[in-house]
Amino acid sequence: MSFIRNTFAILVGLGIAALTITLGIRVFPQWVTFDAFAPFEHWQHFLESMQGEDAFFGFLLFISGLGTTIGGVATAIIVKYAKVAYAILIGFIMLFIAMLDVIVFPYHPTFYKISIFLTFFPFSWIGGKIVEVIYEKKKRRMLAEKIIKRQ
């Protein structure tokens, strides 16, 4: 049962991170150079058209960090134990996907290739830590209420 729950949590976290990143790219219509919403079919052409647009790749790093944080929070909420570890797993998987993207499509600037290593792990860790801190505060508050009730 725990395996199913953890697998579901990872899939939900990855889905939320991917959805956040995809919708983040669509926020600025001047960057979207294709009509139909099919980012995987047009990704190579899209990256070619974005060469020299450092603002886009900077925003992509930001939205990737935000998406990974939100995905890490969702994963950490769903899993029962090792919340931060599973959130970091989301960051590792997203980093792997980003590395595949950089390898397959060579249109990314150098700063982006380096910065993805500095984006995914810390932001996913932050997502797991947010949930861990909230749960610890809740646990301490419940413990304090129990102690007060005993007196």
Domain residue spans of the chain:
2-150
* pLDDT band of 48, cuts 50, 70, 90: confident
pLDDT tens sequence across 96-142:
999 998 898 888 888 888 999 899 989 999 999 999 999 999 999 99
Burial readout 55-73 (b: 16 or more C-beta within 10 A, e: otherwise): ebbebbbebbbbbbbbbbb
* pLDDT band of 32, cuts 50, 70, 90: low
56/83 Cα distance (integer angstroms): 32
What is the model's pLDDT at position 33?
Answer: 60
Provide the token pair at 71. Answer: 């995905």
Could you give the angle at which helices 54-78 and 83-104 cross, rounded to 10 degrees? 150
63/23 Cα distance (integer angstroms): 9
